[in-house]
Amino acid sequence: MTNIIHKCQCAACLADKNRKEWKIHHQMNVLLSRLDEQQRRWYVALESKKIGHGGDVELSEITGMDVETIRRGRYELNDDLASRSSERVRDEGGGQPTVEKRLIDHGDIREFNEG
């Protein structure tokens, strides 16, 4: 599996890749590419908490993660991850539902319908 590494979109990195921030942001995104989804959420939430006000938006620019995802990670960390299973990455029933495909007959036109 190929790990996709997000390219930081913060103003400092877009202006000059020779700044020290670029290297830190790049390494952060390399690390994130190796973590599962809840580990990414928690790590970025922790970094956001270090920044304080505006941290969610700044980390969203750096990592490409949605601000609401970062906020969710902060709430989970504030609760000491009590609501999260240590056995599963996703909640029971989480993720994409199974797609059933069936052929629908409309006279001389047939189409696949995803149900």
Q: What is the pLDDT of residue 83?
A: 76
Q: Rounded CA gap, 33 and 4, in Å?
A: 6
Model confidence pLDDT, tens digit, residues 11-30: 999 999 999 999 999 999 99
CB 10 within 8 A of CB 41: no
Segment 31-37 mean pLDDT:
96
Q: What is the pLDDT of residue 108?
A: 61
What token pair was written down for 33?
């590419």
Model confidence pLDDT, tens digit, residues 67-100: 999 999 999 999 998 876 566 555 565 656 666 6
